[in-house]
Amino acid sequence: MAETDRRIAASVTAVLLVGGALVLLSCLLGWWILSRGEEAFDLDLWWNSALVELRVPPLLWISHAMDWLGGGWFGVLVVPIGGAVALILIRRPWAAAYFLAAEAVSAAGVQALKHLFGRVRPDEILVIADYGSFPSGHVANAATLAVAAFIIFPRVWVAVVGAGWVLLMAFSRTYVHAHWLSDTIGGALLGAGAAVLVAGVFAVPMARERMPREKVAG
């Protein structure tokens, strides 16, 4: 057990560095956007215009559903609490604590950057949204959920489903013009970084919690 703990502890620094780098990249993107004033990136303007031309009812319905699933009381309360309860029920209390902590850190980071940068949302917005366009809270939440799920259940299919969820959320946020494309990139970096950073803090207890199950499975 002691040897295992030492191996895990040795990897924690690398995990924290990766998580910190992702969060830093999100912050740097925000500063770059802020330095441009009200001028959006050419890629943001092109993508926003392209989606105006692509407006069809089925995609609008899906995007409005994603708006509800990824934010508000459902995304902020039901998903984290429901996920934590499910993990407790399968006897993974440390994983549950990690999941809640990652979601909380991600949400706090989103609000901090929104108020720090105060980016204006696109004029064509089709949903009700809070203050600040950068970063996308919906995409940050989706990325935190996807990365945390993969850390707790390291399976290829979990990674594929998680990546698909993040991409769909990013598309939906730009489709209803709640965000510029660069906002979704910043949200994905921040959300993933938060999940990785918090994983470093919970690495040892989660590994201890997982080992008996892996031995039984073997």
Query: For 180-207, what is each residue's pLDDT tens digit?
Result: 999 999 999 999 999 999 999 998 889 8
Tokens 């892996």 -> residue: 214
* Residue of 23 and 3 predicted with greater confidence: 23
Helices (H), the chain: 2-35, 42-53, 57-70, 72-73, 79-89, 93-117, 137-152, 156-175, 181-217
Rama region for 85: left / alpha / beta (φ>0; ψ in -120 to 50; rest): alpha
- Among 142, 216, 131, CA closest to 185: 142
> So what's the pLDDT on residue 3?
57
> pLDDT tier at 6 (50, 70, 90 boundaries)?
low
CB 44 within 8 A of CB 29: no
pLDDT at 144 over 70: yes
- Residue 107 one-letter amino acid: A
The string of pLDDT tens digits covering residues 169-178 is 999 999 999 9
* Residue of 123 and 29 predicted with greater confidence: 29
Tell me the CB-side half-sphere exposure of residue 94, using CA atoms within 13 A.
16
